[in-house]
Amino acid sequence: MKRNALLALVVAGLLAAGSSRAAPLITEEEAKLPPPKGAVAVDQRGIMRGPKIEFVSPGAPANSPLRLVLKFQSYGGAKIDPESVKVIFLRTPNVDLTPRVKPFVQPDGINMQDAELPPGEYTMRIDIKDSDGRPGTTVFTLKIAPK
């Protein structure tokens, strides 16, 4: 009897682990939107005291679902304001992904374990501010391989 109960618990645990779903970052419909017109430039030459955003993973090309990791770095004793984080999928019109990413935002970065995207190339912009109100921005492209 104890053995059957233990076996049932193990099976239930495996089923629960297998049923976890990846979080959709970009939908099929959003992926079909046209790219932005004109160049998307972020020029930050010179000495900047605003926060820095470092794209860590995934490498390119990646398979979906993927682990999306970005690191934030602040300067001069300022702290990153997690509420200021904005994630924009650059399309026409732009798609605000902030509500989908918000649960994965921490003061030191973004760590989204199972971000789901259709195959293709996706240019994204991340905007942040530090506790002194200084902005930081980065633009990167995710390349998702066909399944």
- Give 15's pLDDT tier (boundaries 50, 70, 90): very low
HEC-encoded secondary structure of 24-88 = ECCCHHHHCCCCCCCCCCCCCCCCCCCCEEEEEECCCCECCCEEEEEEEECCCCCCECHHHCEEE
Percentage of the chain beyond pLDDT 70 is 79
Give me the pLDDT at residue 10, please.
36
Percentage of the chain beyond pLDDT 90 is 69
**Segment 23-75, tens digit of pLDDT:** 899 999 999 999 988 755 555 555 568 899 999 999 878 999 999 999 999 99
